[in-house]
Structure 1
Amino acid sequence: MKKIIIMLITLFPMSLYAQRQEFVIEGSFVKKDMDGKVHYNYNERGINVADSTPVINGRFEFKGKVSGIQRAYFTFKPTRATDIKLAWRDSKSIYIEPGSFKIVAKDSISTARVVGSAINSAYESFMAPLEVIAKERKPLWDEYVKIKAADRKVLPRAAELKAKIDETTIKREELLKAYVRSHPKSYFSIEAITELMGPYVVVEKVDELWGTLDPELKESYNGKIINAVILGSKATDVGSRAPVFAQPDTSGKIVKLKDIKGKYVLVDFWASWCHPCRAENPNVLKAYNAYKTKNFTVVGISIDFEKDKGKWIKAIKDDGMPWTQLLSPANIDGGAMKAYGIHAIPSNFLVDPNGIIIAKNLHGPELQKKLEELFN
């Protein structure tokens, strides 16, 4: 089941922006005849920030203001390119921070070095052992995907490859855990914990690690996001009472969870732009039609922005979803999204008539199987 991990930009109001500080980036290519522009973009509190500058005599420069550390994607686009797709493939992830640093490239951004930046040096140290694991994993994975899906369950070689791939996953997780424990003040400990959480948060994997972090890091913007996700995940453990919510439906009427009394309710988080969600909607519709007369219903909660309300309503009609649909925009503080600790979509929670969560993140055949157990 594919899913989309989302940044919880709804968790804190925009007033929590840190004081914006100036940065200067001086870039250079060894090859002086590089003709084109260098672009960068990053997402800051849900707002896309982008800029570009021409390369002149092998040099380029960016100046601006930034609120704390931002992971940006730098790309060189040549003026003359025979393949428009190739024109955007020369890229590199580089962190922007207040102050100044240099980007030194030979003939491409992808192989450039970053000089004079503490955060980018820390990033290189963080990534070095992980890249060793990635190189070990790649040939295994490449061979595995070449084996036809129908043969993966029966061929001994496929089973052998899968076991080795799983070993690399465990190695990576152990490296991430070790990094957090030895770097309680590092920005990248937050990134390590984010990866370890997974799309559907396994609290047991990160709770102890979270406790080891420096208090100042916990109070950072990203730290507060992680904390909210952990708290939301704990609040929605199977056996917990489902968090209450009050969200508007397509007509603007406020609907609360307690308004739906005495039924089994699938609280289903999605968005009109989420392809895995849209692919799952027919499965939810099948479940709804099969059990709507047996004390079962669905409440959809979209995280579409308010400005995209038209797209949300169109998606409801296009996918033929007759159940209650509510909106909890991903650019508004609080709401159902925060209460349920949503970190990826599609996400869902099966709530019994007493308001207790009895299952979560049931997709495809798993949803049908669980409902069969309840009603047949």
Structure 2
Amino acid sequence: MKYLFNITFILCICLISCKKERKESNGFVLHGNIKGKIDDYIYLEYGGKLDSSLVKSNTFLFNGNVAYPTKATILPASPTSGKDMTVGSFMIENSSIKIYTKYNLGNHNGKLLYSLDIDSLIGSNSNTNKVGFDKYIQKIINSDKSVNQKELLLITKIEDFIRTNPTSELSGDYVLDLSNFYGLFNSNQLSELLNMMDKNYQNEETLSKISLLINQRRVLDIGNAAPPFELPSLDNRLVTKEQFFGKYLLIEIWASWCAPCRQANPALLKTYNSYKNRNFEILGISLDKDLKQWQQAIKQDSINWLHVIDTAKTTQLTFKYPTIPFNILVDKEGKIIARNVTPEKLSEILNRLLQTN
């Protein structure tokens, strides 16, 4: 009997251990439905992994495991295929998830464009939280509140998000995106937000970019004097920031080969033409190396403000901008009053400033 008891006891231990092991190894199951004609593989990227699934009868299936809620991207083709594509992003976690997508193969600028968009997703609480948080951010960004009021609301919201979601890698993304795209947060605010994060759950590249941004903001915080420069113009005259004292100045850093820069030019030109006779100027600082391409782009886009060229990229060391297009708006004394403003936001700021001056 003692022998049987030991066997039974060992079996029980094994069953408990196996049950526990199965529970810990439970991962996610992503059930997909896709609209559109496709009989090929689609791809899923998450946590540094890449998986594929063959679409059959407009359905697909992915299985996997994540240590914590993770950003995932669903793609209509392999990321190494070189194909032009649009992709869908969402938060994946260890649960049963249903995702409804739409596939399309079209033409964009003379090239085939493979598109895979997400219509809806069920079963990921972290994704539901993300969607809700994104809506809140856009509501604040699009509100009529002042920049200071927006910053206070967003900092409070992000601090709360970091505290209540300690393992979410979205913390770093939100801080970086709001800083880059909307020019929010000074160097001290960014440092405090970075210190709140659990670095074990953040993407190393994101953390590195936030650290670089903090160094940049120490130079470009609102109220600081704009960094000095001395660069040659189209007619080979040396131009400095002191020449613009007494006017509001937008320093726009761009290049002829930068598609987003060129796309913003028509709207920026419209704003310039509205305010150029009201103590406002734009100075374009180009990073081009080819003088002819630089001159041709200025002519093609009809951007008739003053232009200088920085072939050695000296401004990258002084302005510490992460990407282009990048701009700063300075006041009549050369002090920074805004960063990375869109043409629409620039019009709003100038309208307010020039009414009070």
State the TM-score, normalized to the length of structure 2: 0.52
Q: How far apart are the structure 2 equivalents of 1:317 and 1:35?
A: 40
Q: Decide whether the 8 Å contact of 1:40 with 1:73 is kept in 2.
A: yes
- Structure 2 partner of 1:192: 174
User: Contact 1:200–1:344 (CA<8 Å) still a contact in 2?
Assistant: no
Instruction: Give the corresponding residue for 1:213.
Output: 197
- The residue number in structure 2 matching 1:128 is 128
**Once the 2 structures are TM-superposed, how far is the Cα of residue 323 of structure 1 from its aligned partner?**
0.9
Matched letter for residue 187 of structure 1? E
What is the deviation of 1:92? 3.9
Partner of 2:244 in structure 1?
263
1:367 is the counterpart of 2:345: no
The percent identity for this pair of structures is 14
For residue 267 of structure 2, what is the aligned residue in structure 1? 279
Instruction: Return the alpha-carbon distance in structure 2 between the equivalents of residues 39 and 312 of structure 1.
Output: 43
CA distance in structure 1 between the partners assigned to 2:32 and 2:203 by the alignment: 39
Quick one: which of 33, 37, 43 aligns to 2:40? 37
- Aligned pairs for 1:47-196 (under 5 A) are 54-56=54-56, 71-75=72-76, 92-94=88-90, 108=101, 110=118, 124-132=124-132, 174-183=156-165, 186-196=168-178
* SS across alignment from 1:36: coil
Matched, 1:336 2:316: yes
| Structure 2 counterpart of 1:37, one-letter code | D
Unpaired runs of 5+ residues, structure 2, are 1-27, 64-69, 78-84, 103-117, 146-150
Distance 2:353 2:214 in 1: 26
- The 8 Å contact of residues 350 and 358 in structure 1, kept in 2 or not, is answered as yes
- Equivalent position SS for 2:260: coil
1:74 positional shift? 3.1
**CA 1:104–1:134 in 2, change beyond 3 Å: closer, same or farther?**
closer
Listed one character per residue, the Cα deviations across residues 73-122 of structure 1 (whole Å, up to 9, x for unaligned) are 4359xxxxxxxxxxx99x742579xxxx99976875745679xxxxxxxx
Change (3 A) 1:128 1:349: same
Q: 1:225 to 1:190 in 2, by over 3 A?
A: same
Q: CA deviation at 1:186?
A: 3.9
Higher-Rg structure is: 2
Report the equivalent of 1:149: none
Gaps of 5+ in 1: 1-24, 43-49, 63-68, 77-87, 115-123, 146-160, 164-168
Secondary structure in structure 1 of the residue aligned to 2:329: strand
Contact 2:43/2:75 (<8 A) preserved: yes
Q: Distance in 2 between matches of 1:55 and 1:280?
A: 44
